[in-house]
């Protein structure tokens, strides 16, 4: 038996312009939401790393590393000409 349009379930694939537009808008909203979430995660990571870098720079400024020992120069060898 053939079902009329009113008897079909909405999952059978009735493709109207409005349903296509709604699906496109849902996907667009989902992508925008995912991009915003990724951006927020990257911003949080950047802020955390910046705070760590600034703390390390502050500690390095308070406790400078000792100057490296100078290496003794090797004696010059005479050059045969």
Output the pLDDT for position 20: 94
Q: Which residues, given as ranges, of the chain have pLDDT below 70?
A: 1-13
Output the pLDDT for position 5: 60
Output the pLDDT for position 3: 63
Output the pLDDT for position 26: 97
Compute the distance between CA of residue 81 and CA of residue 76 in angstroms, rounded to an integer: 15
pTM recorded for the entire structure: 0.53
How big is the CA angle at 21 (ends 16 and 26), to the nearest 5 degrees? 130
Output the pLDDT for position 18: 93
């Amino acid at each position: 038996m053939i079902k009329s349009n009113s008897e079909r379930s909405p999952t059978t694939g009735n493709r109207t312009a409005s349903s296509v537009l709604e699906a496109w808008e849902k996907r667009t909203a989902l992508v925008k939401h995912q991009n915003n979430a990724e951006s927020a995660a990257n911003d949080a990571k950047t802020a955390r790393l910046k705070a760590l870098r600034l703390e390390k720079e502050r500690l390095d400024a308070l406790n400078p590393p000792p100057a490296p020992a100078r290496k003794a120069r090797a004696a010059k060898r005479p050059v045969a000409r």
